[in-house]
Amino acid sequence: MPQANLKLSAHDQQVLESIFNPLELAGITTHNDTVKAEMELVDEEPDTELLQASRELEFQAVRLTEQGDLDNALMKFEKALQLTERASVYNNRAQTLRLAKRDHEALENLNRALELASKQQARTKCHAHCQRGVLHRKMDNLDAARADFEAAAQLGSKFAREQLVEINPFAALCNQMLQQAFDQLK
């Protein structure tokens, strides 16, 4: 098959760069020194007896969610919140609410998680932004989804970066154009 010798103008190269690297347009760099990998993110909280009890209830609720026992999981999350109001509990409860098809309540929980999450709770903040971005995308609110995915990408989420590429209208158009070009070369 003959190879096409394509010469792109500087403008065309810039357009392609913006399509394939939409994060740079949003001011999100992916260099190792500026964005931590999501796996490196941690939540730092003071270690008190009340907090330990809340964490244990949260852990039990997550396990119940994984087993499909959503009602009991939601009760455990509520008990954990009664002990201490924590961002990670709201974030994890939002996931259970999403599974229970209670998206608006899940969105409220994610909003609260993000209100409570401090700089020391980067992991929870990252996950809450991703989860809220998914909900916004599901509700066809792409601007809000994009904002959440950008915030999560800034914190190091690979998932969020992938979502930004997917919802980038230029990427979709470019993929369509590239497919047509490759079909013509066949």
Q: Decide which of 97 and 178 is more confident.
A: 97
CB 53 within 8 A of CB 85: no
pLDDT at residue 69, rounded to an integer: 96
pLDDT at residue 103, rounded to an integer: 96
For the chain, what is the radius of gyration of the CA atoms? 21
Its pTM stands at 0.71
Q: Per residue in 105-138, pLDDT tens?
A: 999 999 999 999 988 888 899 999 999 999 999 9
When pLDDT is averaged across residues 85-100 and rounded to a whole number, the result is 96
**Percentage of the chain lying above the pLDDT 70 cut:** 72
Q: Per residue in 24-69, pLDDT tens?
A: 444 444 434 334 555 566 556 677 899 899 999 999 999 999 999 9
pLDDT at residue 175, rounded to an integer: 65
Q: Decide which of 83 and 185 is more confident.
A: 83
| Three-state DSSP string of 15-81 | HHHHHHCHHHHCCCCCCCCCCCCHHHCCECCCCCHHHHHHHHHHHHHHHHHHCCCHHHHHHHHHHHH
Decide which of 3.10.20.30, 1.25.40.10, 3.30.930.10, 3.40.50.720 is the CATH code for 48-185.
1.25.40.10
pLDDT at residue 168, rounded to an integer: 82
Which band of pLDDT confidence, cut at 50, 70 and 90, is reported for residue 178? confident
**Percentage of the chain lying above the pLDDT 90 cut:** 57
